[in-house]
């Protein structure tokens, strides 16, 4: 067993990419109450005051504080961005500074241009020309596929939620893989998949091999994103702080390249609790330090921002990104999946104040511990 996995229970997850098996073999259901929780640290308070000040300036500016109109957002497009590098325990922004919205024309150039223009910004004309004449966007492809009936139904608003504009559905990657395995192992797995495809070049085989090649290149860029912020994420995370940071880098890479309506997170709390329990047991971190890591992680998720059109904001008020995290619930083996990290995530609503993002979704069940139900009720009515 690798040194990063020391004391973890082994299983299928050691031999193949299988995060679920790792969680099932290693997580600790928690039936206790919320008395172990810690309040915000001084660094957390200072950072959140900074966020509140920037949020006020953003509102005063009409809803957008800054937009990038010259650099097309990719995984590695921008240098590092910080609120306060000395105080942040979890780092990373979509651009080179907080509250600066990125330029993402791959979904549709007209939509990207309109989002900028409606907020008082102009996209670089060369970018507009390139994505109009030389590079096909997602929207262009969708409209090429629409039948006349589909176009008519769309224009008359008989059918909504079609796959153009922001209707690309909910995008949920398994960002935990970055922390558990490190990017090098994920690249190795993708190369193995590519080497074992069928060799007769039918259209589906060509597509599969092309997509696997794209995934390998993206994972290489993900390693570079880590290096931009001074981290080597090629190897597995060694503790809970790295596990949170590695997981966040995976998510950050996704939102730097995709601006789908819903950019969800998945179920990270149960996974990260395994690292937290080990570090508490080993005396590596205190409860206060772990809560600080979680607070700073949630803070970053709250600051995910996209350039949206006014029509989008009229349909979905509050500048939503649907960064959905699933908490609790019950596994197929009958065990509830409430952990101390479930409490820590929800506790950010006290430490940082309430916010719509990330969307902390509790999967309700009669099998959830009564202490946790009481805590959820208390949190809901604070």
Q: What is the DSSP string of 166-215?
A: T-S-EEE--THHHHHH-HHHHHHHHHHHHHTS-SS--HHHHHHHHHHHHH
pLDDT digit string, tens, across residues 25-53 = 999 999 999 999 999 999 999 999 999 99
Residue 27: both structure tokens together: 């997580």
Q: Which of 100-104, 198-202, 313-317 has the lowest mean pLDDT?
A: 313-317
Q: Is 298 helix (H, G, I), strand (E, B) or coil?
A: helix
Task: Specify burial of residue 154 (Cβ count, 10 A radius: 0-12, 13-18, 19+).
Answer: middle
The H or E element spanning position 378 is helix 370-380
Residue 81: both structure tokens together: 């961005």
Q: Is the pLDDT of residue 170 over 90?
A: no
Q: Is the pLDDT of residue 167 over 70?
A: no
Please give the radius of gyration of the chain, using alpha carbons only, rounded to the nearest integer: 22
Query: Whole-prediction pTM value?
Result: 0.95
Instruction: Provide the pLDDT for residue 161.
Output: 76
Q: Which of 132-141, 305-314, 363-372 has the highest mean pLDDT?
A: 363-372
Instruction: Provide the pLDDT for residue 317.
Output: 73
Q: How far apart are CA 41 and CA 316, in angstroms?
A: 33
Average pLDDT for 141-166: 89
Q: Is the pLDDT of residue 168 over 70?
A: no
Query: What is the domain partition of the chain in residue ranges?
Result: 3-107+169-181+237-380, 183-234
Contacts of 362 (CB under 8 A, 6+ apart): 327, 328, 346, 376
For the chain, percent of residues with pLDDT exceeding 70: 99
Mean pLDDT taken over the chain: 95
73: which DSSP letter? P
pLDDT digit string, tens, across residues 207-262 = 999 999 999 999 999 999 999 999 999 999 999 999 999 999 999 999 999 988 78
The rounded Cα 24 to chain-centroid distance in angstroms is 22
Which residue in 56, 51, 26 sits closest to 40, CA to CA?
Answer: 51
Instruction: Provide the pLDDT for residue 249.
Output: 99
């Amino acid at each position: 067993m690798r040194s990063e996995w020391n004391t973890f229970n082994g299983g299928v997850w050691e031999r193949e990419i299988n995060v679920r098996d790792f969680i099932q073999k290693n997580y600790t259901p928690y039936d206790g109450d919320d008395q172990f929780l810690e309040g915000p640290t001084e660094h957390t308070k200072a950072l959140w005051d900074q966020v509140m000040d920037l949020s006020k300036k953003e509102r005063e500016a009409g809803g957008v504080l800054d937009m990038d109109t010259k650099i097309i957002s990719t995984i590695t497009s921008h240098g590092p961005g910080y609120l306060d590098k000395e105080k942040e325990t979890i780092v990373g922004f979509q651009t080179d500074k907080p509250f600066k919205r990125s330029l993402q024309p791959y979904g549709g150039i007209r939509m990207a241009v309109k989002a900028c223009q409606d907020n008082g910004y102009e996209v670089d004309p060369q970018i507009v020309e390139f994505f109009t004449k030389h590079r096909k966007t997602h929207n262009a492809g969708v409209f090429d596929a629409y039948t006349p009936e589909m176009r008519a139904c769309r224009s008359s608003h008989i059918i909504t939620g079609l796959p153009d504009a922001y209707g690309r559905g909910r995008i949920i990657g398994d960002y935990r893989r970055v922390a558990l395995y490190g990017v090098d192992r994920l690249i190795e797995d993708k190369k193995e998949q590519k080497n074992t495809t069928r060799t007769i070049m039918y259209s589906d085989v060509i597509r599969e091999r092309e997509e696997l090649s794209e995934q390998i290149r993206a994972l290489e860029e993900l390693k570079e994103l880590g290096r931009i912020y001074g981290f080597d994420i090629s190897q597995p995370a060694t503790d809970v702080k790295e596990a949170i940071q590695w997981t966040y880098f995976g998510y950050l890479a996704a939102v730097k390249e995709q601006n789908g309506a819903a950019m969800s997170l998945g179920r990270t709390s149960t996974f990260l609790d395994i690292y937290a329990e080990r570090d508490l047991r080993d005396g590596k971190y205190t409860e206060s330090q772990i809560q600080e890591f979680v607070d700073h992680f949630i803070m970053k998720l709250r600051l995910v921002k996209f350039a949206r059109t006014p029509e989008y904001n009229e349909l979905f008020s509050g500048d939503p990104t649907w960064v959905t995290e699933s908490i609790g619930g019950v596994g197929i083996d009958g065990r509830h999946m409430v952990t101390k990290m479930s409490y820590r995530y929800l506790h950010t609503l006290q430490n940082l104040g309430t916010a719509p993002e990330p969307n902390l979704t509790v999967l309700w069940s009669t099998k959830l511990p009564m202490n946790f139900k009481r805590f959820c009720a208390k949190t809901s009515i604070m």
